[in-house]
Amino acid sequence: MSDNIIIRKANESDLEEILTLINSPEADNGTAMETRDANTIYQSILGDPNYFQIVASSESGIVAIVTLVIIMQMTHEGATTAYVTDLIVSQSCTEKAAIISDLMQNAKELAEEYGCYKILFQNDYHHDMIESSSRELGLKKGAASFLLPS
Protein backbone atom coordinates (compact mmCIF):
# COMPACT_ATOMS: atom_id res chain seq x y z
CA MET A 1 0.00 0.00 0.00
CA SER A 2 1.23 3.49 -0.84
CA ASP A 3 2.23 5.72 2.05
CA ASN A 4 -0.69 7.57 3.67
CA ILE A 5 -3.16 6.32 1.03
CA ILE A 6 -6.36 4.56 1.97
CA ILE A 7 -8.18 2.49 -0.65
CA ARG A 8 -11.92 2.28 0.06
CA LYS A 9 -15.35 2.18 -1.51
CA ALA A 10 -16.67 5.65 -2.25
CA ASN A 11 -19.52 7.06 -0.21
CA GLU A 12 -22.07 9.86 -0.61
CA SER A 13 -19.77 12.56 0.72
CA ASP A 14 -17.15 11.84 -2.00
CA LEU A 15 -19.11 13.14 -5.00
CA GLU A 16 -17.62 16.64 -5.21
CA GLU A 17 -14.03 15.38 -5.00
CA ILE A 18 -14.77 12.66 -7.56
CA LEU A 19 -16.24 15.27 -9.93
CA THR A 20 -13.15 17.43 -9.50
CA LEU A 21 -10.97 14.47 -10.46
CA ILE A 22 -13.17 13.49 -13.42
CA ASN A 23 -13.34 17.08 -14.66
CA SER A 24 -9.57 17.54 -14.64
CA PRO A 25 -7.72 17.99 -17.96
CA GLU A 26 -6.18 14.49 -17.79
CA ALA A 27 -9.64 12.86 -17.72
CA ASP A 28 -12.35 13.32 -20.34
CA ASN A 29 -10.44 16.31 -21.70
CA GLY A 30 -11.73 18.40 -18.82
CA THR A 31 -15.37 18.10 -19.83
CA ALA A 32 -17.65 18.72 -16.89
CA MET A 33 -20.90 17.05 -15.97
CA GLU A 34 -23.54 19.21 -14.32
CA THR A 35 -23.57 18.54 -10.57
CA ARG A 36 -27.32 17.89 -10.61
CA ASP A 37 -26.93 15.23 -13.32
CA ALA A 38 -23.87 13.79 -11.63
CA ASN A 39 -25.71 13.50 -8.33
CA THR A 40 -28.53 11.53 -9.97
CA ILE A 41 -26.07 9.13 -11.60
CA TYR A 42 -23.96 8.86 -8.45
CA GLN A 43 -26.97 8.01 -6.27
CA SER A 44 -27.89 5.30 -8.78
CA ILE A 45 -24.35 3.89 -8.63
CA LEU A 46 -24.30 3.92 -4.83
CA GLY A 47 -27.68 2.14 -4.76
CA ASP A 48 -26.55 -0.67 -7.07
CA PRO A 49 -25.06 -3.60 -5.11
CA ASN A 50 -23.00 -4.66 -8.17
CA TYR A 51 -21.50 -1.26 -8.98
CA PHE A 52 -18.60 0.25 -7.05
CA GLN A 53 -16.58 3.42 -7.13
CA ILE A 54 -13.28 2.70 -5.38
CA VAL A 55 -11.17 5.66 -4.32
CA ALA A 56 -7.63 6.26 -3.17
CA SER A 57 -7.79 8.86 -0.46
CA SER A 58 -4.95 10.79 1.14
CA GLU A 59 -4.89 13.44 3.85
CA SER A 60 -5.54 16.04 1.15
CA GLY A 61 -8.52 14.16 -0.32
CA ILE A 62 -9.29 11.76 -3.14
CA VAL A 63 -6.34 11.32 -5.51
CA ALA A 64 -7.63 8.46 -7.68
CA ILE A 65 -10.75 6.54 -8.59
CA VAL A 66 -11.67 3.35 -10.41
CA THR A 67 -15.05 1.86 -11.28
CA LEU A 68 -15.84 -1.83 -10.80
CA VAL A 69 -19.06 -3.44 -12.07
CA ILE A 70 -19.99 -7.03 -11.30
CA ILE A 71 -21.75 -8.54 -14.32
CA MET A 72 -24.06 -11.51 -13.87
CA GLN A 73 -23.81 -14.12 -16.64
CA MET A 74 -25.66 -17.17 -17.88
CA THR A 75 -22.42 -18.77 -19.11
CA HIS A 76 -19.76 -20.39 -16.94
CA GLU A 77 -22.48 -21.84 -14.71
CA GLY A 78 -23.67 -18.39 -13.70
CA ALA A 79 -20.22 -17.14 -12.73
CA THR A 80 -19.76 -13.39 -12.65
CA THR A 81 -17.35 -11.16 -14.51
CA ALA A 82 -15.73 -8.03 -13.07
CA TYR A 83 -15.56 -5.03 -15.39
CA VAL A 84 -13.02 -2.43 -14.25
CA THR A 85 -12.90 0.96 -15.95
CA ASP A 86 -12.52 4.71 -15.49
CA LEU A 87 -9.25 4.56 -13.60
CA ILE A 88 -8.26 8.19 -13.09
CA VAL A 89 -5.31 9.43 -11.03
CA SER A 90 -4.75 13.07 -10.17
CA GLN A 91 -2.05 14.78 -12.23
CA SER A 92 -0.55 16.10 -8.99
CA CYS A 93 -0.14 12.61 -7.55
CA THR A 94 3.51 11.58 -7.28
CA GLU A 95 2.86 7.88 -6.64
CA LYS A 96 0.77 7.02 -9.72
CA ALA A 97 2.12 3.51 -10.34
CA ALA A 98 1.79 2.49 -6.69
CA ILE A 99 -1.73 3.90 -6.40
CA ILE A 100 -2.82 2.19 -9.63
CA SER A 101 -1.41 -1.07 -8.31
CA ASP A 102 -3.25 -0.61 -4.99
CA LEU A 103 -6.56 0.20 -6.72
CA MET A 104 -6.24 -2.77 -9.03
CA GLN A 105 -5.38 -5.07 -6.12
CA ASN A 106 -8.50 -3.87 -4.32
CA ALA A 107 -10.61 -4.39 -7.46
CA LYS A 108 -9.18 -7.91 -7.86
CA GLU A 109 -9.98 -8.77 -4.25
CA LEU A 110 -13.53 -7.47 -4.63
CA ALA A 111 -13.93 -9.47 -7.85
CA GLU A 112 -12.73 -12.60 -6.06
CA GLU A 113 -15.14 -11.89 -3.19
CA TYR A 114 -17.99 -11.85 -5.74
CA GLY A 115 -16.83 -15.12 -7.31
CA CYS A 116 -15.79 -13.58 -10.61
CA TYR A 117 -13.98 -15.89 -12.99
CA LYS A 118 -12.66 -13.05 -15.14
CA ILE A 119 -11.67 -9.39 -14.83
CA LEU A 120 -12.00 -7.09 -17.81
CA PHE A 121 -9.96 -3.89 -17.73
CA GLN A 122 -10.98 -1.17 -20.16
CA ASN A 123 -9.53 2.24 -19.57
CA ASP A 124 -8.79 5.38 -21.54
CA TYR A 125 -5.87 6.43 -19.32
CA HIS A 126 -2.68 4.95 -17.82
CA HIS A 127 -2.43 1.97 -20.21
CA ASP A 128 1.20 1.07 -19.48
CA MET A 129 0.79 1.18 -15.70
CA ILE A 130 -2.40 -0.90 -15.87
CA GLU A 131 -0.69 -3.56 -17.96
CA SER A 132 2.28 -3.65 -15.59
CA SER A 133 0.04 -3.87 -12.50
CA SER A 134 -2.05 -6.61 -14.13
CA ARG A 135 1.07 -8.74 -14.62
CA GLU A 136 2.14 -8.08 -11.01
CA LEU A 137 -1.28 -9.32 -9.84
CA GLY A 138 -0.82 -12.54 -11.80
CA LEU A 139 -3.53 -11.75 -14.33
CA LYS A 140 -3.27 -13.14 -17.85
CA LYS A 141 -3.93 -10.99 -20.87
CA GLY A 142 -7.11 -11.98 -22.71
CA ALA A 143 -9.08 -10.90 -25.73
CA ALA A 144 -9.05 -7.42 -27.18
CA SER A 145 -11.92 -5.00 -26.70
CA PHE A 146 -13.39 -2.73 -29.34
CA LEU A 147 -14.85 0.74 -29.06
CA LEU A 148 -17.91 1.98 -30.89
CA PRO A 149 -17.22 4.89 -33.23
CA SER A 150 -18.13 8.24 -31.73
Domains identified in the chain and CATH numbers: 6-136 (3.40.630.30)
Above 90 in pLDDT, residue 9? yes
CB < 8 Å & 24+ apart, contacts of 13-20: 14/53, 14/55, 14/62, 15/39, 15/42, 17/61, 17/62, 18/42, 18/53, 18/55, 18/62, 18/65
In this predicted model, which residue has the larger pLDDT, 147 or 79? 79
CA–CA separation, 58 and 74 (whole Å) = 40
Average pLDDT, the chain: 82
Asked if 113 and 70 touch (Cβ cutoff 8 Å), the reply is no
pLDDT confidence band for 97 (50 / 70 / 90): confident
Residue 78 has pLDDT above 70, yes or no: yes
Report the range out of 26-35, 98-107, 117-126 with the highest average pLDDT. Answer: 98-107
Contact 56, 2 (CB under 8 A): yes
pTM: 0.82
Pairing of strands 80-89, 116-122: parallel
Q: Is the pLDDT of residue 47 over 80?
A: yes
